[in-house]
Amino acid sequence: MAFKYARRMERIKASEIRELLKLTAKPEIISFAGGLPASELFPVNEMIEISKKVLEENGAQAMQYGQTEGFLPLREEITKRMKRGKADVLPEEILVTNGSQQGLDFSARLFINPGDTIVLEKPSYLGAISAFKAYEPNFVDIELEADGMNMEELEETLKTVENVKFIYVIPDFQNPTGKTWSVEKRKKLIELGNKYDVVIIEDNPYGELRFEGEFLPSIKHFDTEGRVVYLGTFSKILCPGYRLGWVAASPEIVNKYTLIKQGADLQASTISQMEVAMFLKDYDIEAHIEKIKEVYKRRRDLMIKVMREEFPEEVTYTYPEGGLFTWVTLPERINSRDLAVKALEKNVAFVPGGSFYANPGHENSMRLNYSAMQDDKIVEGMKRLAVVIKEALK
């Protein structure tokens, strides 16, 4: 039987990371593949108490429908979090979403018509590429330098390419490279957005996980015309299982996102929002984030140390100042998809770098996650991976 699917389904492929995670569920696999936070750091005991308290004090409300925009006390707490990035927003400028991934999908629904152009970093987050691709845009990817997009290349694109709908960026500890934009390039991005009248989507899941260096203001902080759409999440600073993220934008734009959410799922989970709001009110989230950062910094240092000692000299890697990932670049003759198969034979998993490019032709890189594995597994897994790389180089 030939079912008549929508044309967009031809563009939708299984997430390479999700497919890999099926394999990495095996206990013998040392996985550097997923962008997983460390589950042993989740505040399980605190949330047990909070869940009980929410149900005892406001059980009927917690189990009922709520506002599409989101639970107001949670949105008020989100405004406080955003002030850390020097972005002043009001609760009415926030929509609570089912994770920031939903914010990406809604962004595509809101802005993209078939044939429109989307500008993004090269490489970029594969979940965003997948979310956008379903709506049939063209992609122009701009070289990502050590301190952000190549601004000359970006301006030339905005000057010459028609119908650019938005620029998508991850300015802090970028997924997949771990790179961070400089303040100068953040300001320049706003300048170009204003000059060429283009929306900017700032995806910032990792900004609060800075281990060292100066805490930088968000791109939203420099927004002078209300053209920056900010996507945030509790997945990396609390836990991903609650599936709570948010969109922060000008009232006109956030109202459009709200209309889309009404048609998609009405609202984010009431009880999840109430529980997270109570955690933020009753517990010290800053102390919790400091604990996460301490563990992730140690694991980053350990991974970098083993790479420095074991990897061949022709293999390079980034040194992120925060976040969850480092990016490894191999000699051009090495295909990391083939390498991933060989690594799995040694019970080690990573995500091949080609998955993070909107346009094909870049296969000599890999993304490694250091946050989720225990220290001893990082050492053992990286040593195994070094052996695989050395064999491939022969």
Per-residue pLDDT of 317-371, as tens digits, reads 999 999 999 999 999 999 999 999 999 999 999 999 999 999 887 899 999 999 9
Instruction: Give the mean model confidence (pLDDT) for residues 174-189.
Output: 98
Task: Report the alpha-carbon distance of residue 237 to residue 218 in Å, rounded.
Answer: 17
Would you place residue 1 in the very low, low, confident or very high pLDDT band (cuts 50, 70, 90)? low
Task: Name the CATH topology of 61-282.
Answer: Aspartate Aminotransferase; domain 2 (3.40.640)
Asked if the model's pLDDT at residue 285 lies above 70, the reply is: yes
Please name which of 229, 167, 184 lies closest in space to residue 204, comparing C-alpha atoms. Answer: 229
Assessment of whether the complete model's pTM goes beyond 0.85: yes
Locate CATH 3.40.640.10 in the chain.
61-282
Q: Are 246 and 233 in contact (CB under 8 A)?
A: yes
The CATH class given to the 7-43+287-393 domain equals alpha beta
Q: What is the mean pLDDT of the chain?
A: 94
Asked if the model's pLDDT at residue 28 lies above 90, the reply is: no
Compute, in degrees rounded to 10, the torsion defined by CA atoms 321, 94, 265, 68.
150
Over pLDDT 70: what percentage of the chain?
A: 95
Task: Report the alpha-carbon distance of residue 338 to residue 352 in Å, rounded.
Answer: 9
Give the β-pairing of 365-369 and 325-329.
antiparallel
Per-residue pLDDT of 294-324, as tens digits, reads 999 999 999 999 999 999 999 999 999 999 9
Per-residue pLDDT of 137-169, as tens digits, reads 999 999 999 999 999 999 999 999 999 999 999
* DSSP element (H, E) containing 121: strand 117-122
Half-sphere exposure of 303 (CA within 13 A, CB side): 29
The reported pLDDT for the residue numbered 7 is: 73
The reported pLDDT for the residue numbered 5 is: 67
Locate CATH 3.90.1150.10 in the chain.
7-43+287-393
Task: Tell me the Ramachandran region of residue 173: left when phi exceeds 0, alpha when psi lies from -120 to 50, beta otherwise.
Answer: left
Task: Report the alpha-carbon distance of residue 23 to residue 43 in Å, rounded.
Answer: 27
Which phi and psi angles does 61 have, rounded to 5°?
A: -65, -40
The reported pLDDT for the residue numbered 23 is: 62
